[in-house]
Amino acid sequence: MATTTLRVPRLALVGVGLAVILATGACSGGGSSDAGTPQGKASGTLNMLVSSSTGSDAGFKAVNKAFEAKYPDVKVNFSSVPNENYAQAHSSRLTAGSIDVGLAGPVELPSYVPQANEGDDARLADAGGYVDLTDQPFMKMYNPTVLDKIKYKGKNYTVPTGLSYYSGMFYNKKIFEQNGIQVPTTWSELISDCQKLKSAGVVPLGIGGKDSAGLNMLGVVQSLYPTAQAKQDLAKGLYGGSVKLDEGKQLQVLKQVEQLYSFAEPNFAGVTYATMTSDFVNGKFAMMSDGTWNTTTIQQAGGSNLDFGYFPIPASENAADNASLGGKVELTLAVPSNAKNKAAALEYLDFFTKNYQLFDDQAGFAPSVTGAKSNAFYEGIAQYTSNFEPAWDTVWIPNTKAGPAAALPFNWAGVAPMGESDAQGAAQASQKDWEAGLK
């Protein structure tokens, strides 16, 4: 069975590390605000830790090089860690006070979620574990609507590096044209297109089963629950017990995921994200479930020989439900209150903001800084992004008492060949694990 890592994880601290920070490193009563403001001076070592991705790593390195050129007395110690290992690395280094700029994402709990499920980042923010950035001058350069989405109890503890959308599919325009296929706007059209491609000997869909198969589920949920309110109502119903995961529209999610799996390349459960990307660039399949964070990598690898686009997974038979992409605010940078070089950290965030184009030219995110130039790719999907809609995993608050089959809670990893069940069996396992967590 393949591993079930999803490339859009909630970044959280490991509990042991959090306990140490709360006991020794943070002042009580809210975020620290004693770090001052950028003064145009910095020295010493700046320790930076982020989760790794080809585009964003290249962007940070471009900024870091320019930052060291402007501040020759600063040495940036930059570390990027695979997503699945980030929480542990972040926890141990935060406990040791060896992070000056890292990632955080405190989220307020909805009233229907038990307090026991509050995230570690939220608890750490409450305890004063992150520097309050709300009134820092450079924050005025960010899109205020983006800042509003990442506020925690009215304050901004994090800097948004951009926006990504990941409820859709990249598609090869040449393969579509050769097979007389238009971009599908309903589920029936998508299935018909997949069948046509398969009959022509073309693999319809590429999936990275080792680390990104769950994106198919998020795309289906986006169209079946197309608004933030619909997703919030779903989450509230699940916590309240009035909604079941093995019936109705919830079961439909996994049945449609199962159909998508049936059109994927053989043995996709063992395919890595990097291999999936390479295979798409090389024309081995027509479509690829992925996030827009991969845009720059695809453009650089494919060059002028690859003409590609992106569209929402149209899981509904109502085209209007399929008209928006679900997304998230990307990697959000924070300064821990126990950072050893807060002065350099604030100078870095100020420099990052003022030189944002250096970062985003490589990262390829939809910009978070007002007036920044975006990758031309985003002009082609503007019809899907005019109204920002959050993806399901940014709305859902996991129940720490529930079993693994109810983690997101749609059990995409239980559906064969990712798992050993059909959609019905995977949904029943999910409901069982969910009910166990409500007791």
Distances (CA, A) of 352 to 63, 159, 290, 303, 346: 7, 10, 27, 28, 10
Q: What is the pLDDT of residue 233?
A: 97
Give the architecture-level CATH label for domain 167-324+399-438.
3-Layer(aba) Sandwich (3.40)
Examine the pLDDT at 19 and tell me if it is beyond 90.
no
Examine the pLDDT at 195 and tell me if it is beyond 90.
yes
Classify domain 15-164+329-389 at the CATH topology level: D-Maltodextrin-Binding Protein; domain 2 (3.40.190)
Burial 112-145 (b: 16+ CB within 10 A, else e): ebeeebbbbbbbbbbbbbbbbbeebebbeebbee
Instruction: Report residue 222: phi and psi, to 5°.
Output: -60, -40
* Apex 116 CA angle, 110 and 117, nearest 5: 55
If you average pLDDT over residues 111-135, what whole number do you get?
A: 95
If you average pLDDT over residues 40-69, what whole number do you get?
A: 95
183/82 Cα distance (integer angstroms):
33
Examine the pLDDT at 8 and tell me if it is beyond 80.
no
* Domain layout of the chain by residue ranges: 15-164+329-389, 167-324+399-438
Per-residue confidence band for 28, with pLDDT thresholds at 50, 70 and 90: very low
Q: Where are the beta strands (DSSP E) in 108-250?
A: 159-160, 163-165, 168-172, 205-206
For the segment 230-246, what is each residue's pLDDT rounded down to a tens digit?
999 999 999 999 999 99
180/197 Cα distance (integer angstroms):
10
CB of 352 closer than 8 Å to CB of 142: no
Q: What is the pLDDT of residue 6?
A: 54
Local structure of residue 135 (DSSP, 8 states)? T
Could you give the percent of the chain with pLDDT greater than 90? 85
If you average pLDDT over residues 98-106, what whole number do you get?
A: 97
Measured distance between the N- and C-terminal CA atoms of the chain, rounded to whole angstroms: 30
Examine the pLDDT at 356 and tell me if it is beyond 60.
yes
Task: Indicate the SS3 state at residue 395.
Answer: helix
Greater pLDDT, 70 or 22: 70
CB of 296 closer than 8 Å to CB of 375: yes
For the segment 31-52, what is each residue's pLDDT rounded down to a tens digit?
565 568 788 889 999 999 999 9
